[in-house]
Amino acid sequence: MLQLHDLTFKPFLSAQEIENTIEKVAEKINEDLAAKQPVFLGVLNGAYLFTAELTKRFQGNCEVEFTKLISYEGTKTTGKIQNLIGVENLKGKTVIVVEDIVDTGNTISEIVKILEKEAVANYKIATLFFKPEAYQKAHKIDYIGLEIPNKFIVGFGLDYNGLGRNLPEIYQLKEN
């Protein structure tokens, strides 16, 4: 068990399971974009580790950029997206949006608007974790590491009020 602030979390995925999942996503991206020079657009703060791991495994030339949007307070999504760090100079480029987790899809919708405004050549969306039960949008998620239940998780970049991002494994909120 793991205690973060006022909540208790139980083990959910091992570091090795995460490693295997990242490898699977990276292989697919390499297959699809071998002839391209993509920009990996990591969504901060949660996707910083996943972005680093994907770019290490990309077999061609690539660029890395970050954007920061927030939609969570504690364990709940607010339904409102705040854009804290914007992107620029993506016009005409192939972009891979790198998300730690996609649940409702609100953040993805906001990023798609930004990419369309930036006039990118094309984009793909990659997420380490996907919650199909919570997803409410129509945007295609091109690369899904793992589909997981609609439960709150921490670790490997994901946090609860700032804590847990540094954990090499994933923990799920323990229900009482």
DSSP string over 113-133: HHHHHHT-SEEEEEEEEE-TT
Average pLDDT value for residue range 52-73: 88
pLDDT score for 39: 96
Residue of 32, 100, 103, 159 marked active site: 103
For residue range 108-123, list pLDDT tens digits in order: 998 998 899 889 999 9
pLDDT score for 32: 96
pLDDT score for 81: 56
List of domains in the chain? 2-173 (3.40.50.2020)
Q: Is the pTM of this model over 0.85?
A: yes
Average pLDDT value for residue range 139-152: 97
In this prediction, residue 71 has a pLDDT band, given cuts at 50, 70 and 90, of low
Determine the Cα–Cα distance for residues 31 and 94; give it in Å rounded to an integer. 15
Give yes or no for residue 173 having a pLDDT over 90: yes
Catalytic residue check, 103:
yes
